[in-house]
Amino acid sequence: MATIEQRSNGTWRAKIRKKGYPQLSGSFDTKAEAQRWAAEMEGDMSRKRFVDTREADRTTLKEALERYREEVTVNKKGAVQEKTRIKTWSESKYGSKSIAEIRSADLAKYRDDRLAEGVSTNTVRLALALISHLYTVAIKDWGIEGLSNPVTKLRMPKGSRERDRRPTSKELKEVIKASAAVHSEMPVIIEIAVETAMRRSELVSLRRENVRGKHAVLEDTKNGSRRLVPLSVRARELLDTLPARIDGKVFSLAPHSVTQYFVRACRAAKVENLHFHDMRHEGTSRLFEKGLSMMEVASITGHKSMSMLRRYTHLCPDSLADKLG
């Protein structure tokens, strides 16, 4: 039987001691609540349905995220970005809540509040995806009992409209020209990004030893697969203009520097709403406009899914008109 007693502060404490089970206790505002809780716990024990939720109850979201960061995030390619999301969650009002306490209603409010602040749907989806995977790891790998994933019951925000921004020839020329004043490597980086459809991270990690005649070998890509990227005559000419570096790298810039310098170049060229990743869009579309098949383009760009490749492809209507005659 449970022991129920009133504490000096007016609350009620219920204690349960049953052979073969851990000692449990809980504090409640009323005696009725204490009795109801005790009856439920004892009933679960009698029916062999008892689940020890103490670890879930005493582990805060912040603590769980810290463990996730050390055990899971560090092994991801996007570790830097995910650590930022973890910091945001940890410092939020949800950070001090136990992982057993967080409900789908809490995350629905988070979703709606963030969207109302003007945060992009993709940013919100990534933040919620982090929490979802955290619960999956906590349940399956850490063995924390009594947990259910609150994100699975949540209506995720609809994806933002796919970008179809392609620079005009004039815009691209002006941005490349302006980028030379920002950093000497930027014009080459921008042009090679368009010529090869390589990602920013792939470009800045490229080493001289990986450039082999008419192709470049990418050992470490976003999806983890080794890839051979053919180099056009123009791409090879651009690479030849760069001086050899002692560290063996083709470029000296860090990924975030490329992004910042590209923004500066666009501002100087008075070109709006253009991102560096749009160079990959442009390069991919040009490959199709040259007549390459979807499988050929996929082998160059490294897309695993045809649907993902399709959303990066925005063919120039003028080029299509020329094919029609």
199 catalytic? Reply is yes
Active-site choice (62, 199, 227, 281):
199
CA 172, distance to chain mean position in Å, is 28
Q: Which of 85, 281, 312, 314 is catalytic?
A: 312
Residue 222 annotated to the active site: yes
User: Rounded to an integer, what distance in angstroms lies between the CA atom of residue 207 and that of residue 249?
Assistant: 4
Catalytic: which of 69, 85, 281, 303? Answer: 303
- In the residue annotation, 103 being an active-site residue is answered as no
Judge whether 277 counts as a catalytic residue: yes
Based on the number of CB atoms within 10 Å of its own CB, is 63 exposed (0-12), middle (13-18) or buried (19 or more)? Answer: middle
* Token digits of residue 286: 């040009």
Catalytic option among 97, 207, 222, 275: 222
Q: Which of 31, 97, 125, 277 is catalytic?
A: 277
3-state class of 60 per DSSP? strand
- What residue ranges in the chain does DSSP mark as E strands? 3-6, 12-16, 24-28, 211-212, 215-218, 227-230
Sign of CA dihedral 261, 316, 216, 277: positive
State whether residue 217 is helix, strand or coil: strand
**Catalytic-role residue among 69, 111, 183, 280:** 280
Q: Which of the residues are catalytic? A: 199, 222, 277, 280, 303, 312
